Amino acid sequence: MASSSTFRAARVRRLILHVITALCVFFVLAPLVVVILNSFSSVSYNKFPPPGFSLKWYENIFQVPEFGNSAVYSLVLAALSTVLATVIGAMASYAFVRGRLFAKGLISGAILASLVVPKIVLGVGLFVFFAKIGGYGQLWSVVVSHAVISLPFVVTLVSAAMVGLDRSLEEASRDLGASPFTTFRQIVLPQIRVSITVGALFAFIVSFDQLESTIFLLKPGTETLPIALFNYTIKHQDPTVAALSSLMILFSVALVIVAAVLLKRGNAMEALRRTQESQK
Amino acid sequence: MSDQGQAGPPHAEPSQAGVPHAVEIRGVRKAFQGAVALDGVSIDVPDGSFFSLLGPSGCGKSTLLRVISGFESPDAGTLHIAGRDMTDTPPNRRPTAMVFQRWALFPHMNVRDNVAYGLRLRKTGKQRIRARVDELLALVGLEEHSAKRPSQLSGGQQQRVALARALAIEPRVLLLDEPLASLDLKLRLQMQLELKRIQREVGTTFVFVTHDQGEAMTMSDAIAVMKDGRVQQIGSPQEIYDEPRSAFVADFIGDTNLLELDEPVRDGRMTVGGRTFAAPDRAAAGGEGDGGCKALSLRYERVRVGEELDCANVADAAVEEVVFFGGSIRYRVRLDGNAQELVAEVPRTGVETPYPIGARIRVGWDPNAAIALAS
Ligand SMILES: Nc1ncnc2c1ncn2[C@@H]1O[C@H](COP(=O)(O)OP(=O)(O)O)[C@@H](O)[C@H]1O
Ligand SMILES: [Mg+2]
């Protein structure tokens, strides 16, 4: 009897777990589903579910010149900040994992801080900073800002990969005559390539989706895609925004899938190597 | 810094005939967060020799090797390689190459690229690299595996790749950190011979770290025995075996009986556990370079067992333990009338009946078979 009641308790617990999980998934996905369904709406006012199907809002995207210009700007911005964040992030990870660094905890804390600071606050801070040093409204200042925001993603992923590396491989390389830089390029990099690629993809997505911090950094007239969307919604309430958002969701999801596949393959290769080694 | 402390060996003479020692270590100290790993080490490694660093785990062998290769910088002391001061030279500018304990092969490169790594860094021509790698793969017997990844090789094969990779850059000194420790016994014995052959063929100085005294004995031209970050003794395998200077060395290298003297040797006589025996000539002369010895080492195989013994030191004893070793038998016996134990290792002739436990026998040894120990 006691055992049947524990069974029942376990079943109830599992049921609660499933319900909570389902609710979480629902609340994350529901807004996206609403947006995507609305993007195919036949009417211009907000009605859910939409009364009919049409593709006219997708066509309308191309009638708004701000979207095209800001998309180009966003892509350039994301590409540049990704390069910056990835290069700095990979080097910083190497220093954190291998280096004898002064105040290591403080520096890595500072790099990760942008994860927890609200982006609006960060945006205001960056605005004041760049206004002071004369970088306000310049592309490079936005690139730097986005790199700062993406850096934690790169550092977390890459240093996790680096912790698992066998240090004696790097020593073997130095021993055979390689400089520290050559050792990083020839020995370390090939082993963490997957993590760096995935980190770069995340950095790209983070930059491409960034709204709150960017708002303060751009002069009126230059827009990123999220800002163009934001401005458009202020003036118009038609589902063009939903259509464009759906495309952006599709783009981000595609990047995440690529990242996941890469990571999985990386893990699979790693696991394969480990098992082969353990069989000896 | 002055040179070494009291444990330093008297091996600091300049190299003969103008050929610099492959490695000259002088008074090297190294501590990790206060824990002393090397405590004033001085060693000369003759050019072209197979030199072993032997000692129990944790005695500082790896640390010393890492000082030579440049991965650790000594807190004090100097290091010369081939006559040049390398104390502060980074590892990539030293003419040394290391075979790591777990080999450290590059997992993302095949065997050929692993071996070619050091040559590529030196901007050697493609043709030359190819020829040299082929030559090395032949030397270690891996011609057929050149396209494989390290993960596709057995332990012994990976070991050979590591060796070929290190030899490729033609180092003045090859450093090997217990490279055989993770191989099984049979493979280990085979690789010992192989390493020795390769060392003879290439003529490079090998500094070989091991905690296995048998390995050190069979392979080395010279051995430095280490303990607690200090060098205990340096010499040829035979010197170290036959003339250990301390109880530690005597015991670590092969099996030995320790005879503690009740009082200093007088008139060529010594007392052990209340009984008097003839002392070895060396001990009678006052020990080797210090005031009287307090203990002797007597190798198991130098103790004789039987009814009629013609050696000067003879005693009655009782057998307490018998152990078969295939080719020999070990008896642990206790001398009559005192607490002194001896172990005797006797070769088997195949016809004798071993003494049973409790049997009363006579044991004896030639006085000069016992070695006076300095400490
Ligand atoms: N990087 C290190 N940090 C702290 N202690 C170390 C380090 N390397 C070695 N040691 C210590 O130094 C001593 C000698 O170590 P090691 O040279 O590895 O000995 P062996 O190779 O003879 O086993 C040991 O007590 C070890 O714990
Ligand atoms: Mg060691």
Give me the pLDDT at residue B9, please: 41
Q: Is the CB of residue B199 below 6 angstroms from any atom belonging to ligand 1? A: no
* pLDDT score of B316 more than 70: yes
Residue B2 lies in a domain: no
Are B267 and B137 found together in one domain? no
Tokens of B294: 């307090």
Are B123 and B99 found together in one domain? yes
Domain boundary among B199, B221, B243: B243
Q: Is the CB of residue B151 below 6 angstroms from any atom belonging to ligand 1? A: no
Residue B324 lies in a domain: yes
Are B28 and B144 found together in one domain? yes
Write out the residues surrounding ion ligand 2, Cβ under 5 A.
B 62
Are B328 and B235 found together in one domain? no
Tokens of A206: 């983070």
CB contact under 8 A, A177 and B155: no
Are B229 and B262 found together in one domain? no
Residue B1 lies in a domain: no
pLDDT in tens, B81-127: 999 999 999 999 999 999 998 899 999 999 999 999 999 999 889 99
* pLDDT score of B3 more than 70: no
Q: How confident is the model at residue B6 (pLDDT cuts 50, 70, 90)?
A: very low
Q: Atom of ligand 1 at shortest distance to CA of B56?
A: 22
Q: How confident is the model at residue A2 (pLDDT cuts 50, 70, 90)?
A: low
Residue B307 lies in a domain: yes
Give me the pLDDT at residue B85, please: 96
Phi, psi of A236 (to 5 degrees): -125, 150
Are B261 and B351 found together in one domain? yes
Are B234 and B141 found together in one domain? yes
Burial of B333 (0-12, 13-18, 19+ CB in 10 A): buried
Give me the pLDDT at residue A99, please: 84
CA distance B210 to chain A (A): 19
Average model confidence (pLDDT) for chain B? Answer: 89
Query: Residue A53 in 3-state DSSP?
Result: strand
Q: Which of B106, B120, B167, B207 to mutate to test the interface with A (most CBs of A within 10 A)?
A: B106
Give the CA dihedral B231, B235, B238, B241, nearest 10 degrees. -20
Interface of A with B (CB under 8 A): 166, 168-169, 171-179, 182, 186-187, 190-191, 273, 276-277, 280
pLDDT in tens, B114-147: 999 999 999 889 999 999 999 999 999 999 999 9
* pLDDT score of B274 more than 90: no
Contact assessment for residue B163 and residue B140, using Cβ atoms and an 8 Å cutoff: yes
Burial of A126 (0-12, 13-18, 19+ CB in 10 A): buried
C-alpha A224: how far from chain center: 16
Nearest CA to ligand 1 atom 25: B58
Query: Residue A277 in 3-state DSSP?
Result: helix
Mean pLDDT in residue range B246-257: 91
Euclidean distance between CA atoms B130 and B126, whole angstroms: 6
Contact assessment for residue B95 and residue B114, using Cβ atoms and an 8 Å cutoff: no
Predicted complex ipTM: 0.82
* Nearest of B86, B74, B72 to residue B24 by alpha carbon: B86
Q: Is the CB of residue B60 below 6 angstroms from any atom belonging to ligand 1? A: yes
CB contact under 8 A, B169 and A176: yes
Q: Atom of ligand 1 at shortest distance to CA of B209?
A: 21
**What type of residue is A83?**
V
Give me the pLDDT at residue A9, please: 87
* pLDDT score of B27 more than 80: yes
Are B298 and B203 found together in one domain? no
Q: Could you tell me the CA-to-CA distances from A3 to A6, A8, A16, A100, A158 in Å, in that order?
A: 5, 9, 20, 56, 47
Of B70, B104, B155, the CB nearest to A169: B104
Work out how many domains chain B is built from and give that number: 2
pLDDT in tens, A86-112: 999 999 999 899 888 888 888 888 888
B4 alpha carbon to ligand 2 midpoint, in Å? 23
* B165: contact with A, CB 8 A cutoff: yes
Contact assessment for residue B330 and residue B370, using Cβ atoms and an 8 Å cutoff: no
* B76: contact with A, CB 8 A cutoff: no
Q: How confident is the model at residue B375 (pLDDT cuts 50, 70, 90)?
A: low
* pLDDT score of B290 more than 50: no
Q: In this structure, how many other beta carbons lie within 10 angstroms of the beta carbon of residue B184? A: 10
Residue B342's domain comprises: 255-373
Euclidean distance between CA atoms B29 and B100, whole angstroms: 22
Mean pLDDT in residue range A228-257: 90
Tokens of B302: 């130098």
Mean pLDDT in residue range B319-333: 91
Residue B3 lies in a domain: no
Are B205 and B348 found together in one domain? no
Block residue for tokens 């609200």: A118
Domain boundary among B243, B263, B293: B243
* One-letter-per-residue 3-state SS of chain B: CCCCCCCCCCCCCCCHHHCCCCEEEEEEEEEECCEEEEEEEEEEECCCCEEEEECCCCCCHHHHHHHHHCCCCCCEEEEEECCEECCCCCHHHCCEEEECCCCCCCCCCCHHHHHHHHHHHCCCCHHHHHHHHHHHHHHCCCHHHCCCCHHHCCHHHHHHHHHHHHHHCCCCEEEEECCCCCCCHHHHHHHHHHHHHHHHHHCCEEEEEECCHHHHHHHCCEEEEEECCEEEEEECHHHHHHCCCCHHHHHHCCCEEEEECCCCCECCEEEECCEEEECCHHHHCCCCCCCCCCEEEEEHHHCEEECCCCCCEEEEEEEEEEEECCCEEEEEEEECCCCCEEEEEEECCCCCCCCCCCCEEEEEECHHHCEEECC
**What type of residue is A249?**
I
Q: How confident is the model at residue B10 (pLDDT cuts 50, 70, 90)?
A: very low
Instruction: Give the CA count within 13 Å in the CB-facing half-sphere of B239.
Output: 11
Percent of chain B with pLDDT over 70: 92
**What type of residue is A248?**
M
* B169: contact with A, CB 8 A cutoff: yes
Give per-residue burial for B292-327: e unless 16+ CB within 10 Å, then b. Answer: ebbbbbbbbbbbbbeeebeeebbbebebeeeeeeee
Pocket test for ligand 1, best of B29, B32, B98 (most atoms within 8 A of CB): B32
Q: Which of A249-258, A267-276, B29-38 has the highest mean pLDDT?
A: B29-38
Euclidean distance between CA atoms B114 and B2, whole angstroms: 42
Are B123 and B261 found together in one domain? no
The model's pTM: 0.79
Residue B11 lies in a domain: no
Domain boundary among B208, B243, B278: B243
A265 alpha carbon to ligand 2 midpoint, in Å? 36
Domain of B47, CATH number, reads 3.40.50.300
Contact assessment for residue B335 and residue B316, using Cβ atoms and an 8 Å cutoff: yes
Q: Is the CB of residue B59 below 6 angstroms from any atom belonging to ligand 1? A: yes
Are B222 and B303 found together in one domain? no
Q: Which residue has the higher pLDDT, B143 or B286?
A: B143
Residue B13 lies in a domain: no
* B264: contact with A, CB 8 A cutoff: no
C-alpha B357: how far from chain center: 35
- CA-nearest residue of chain B to A166? B104
Give me the pLDDT at residue B222, please: 97
Spell out the domains of chain A, with CATH numbers in brackets: 65-279 (1.10.3720.10)
Phi, psi of B317 (to 5 degrees): -155, 165
Are B325 and B297 found together in one domain? yes
Residue B184 lies in a domain: yes
Domain of B355, CATH number, reads 2.40.50.140
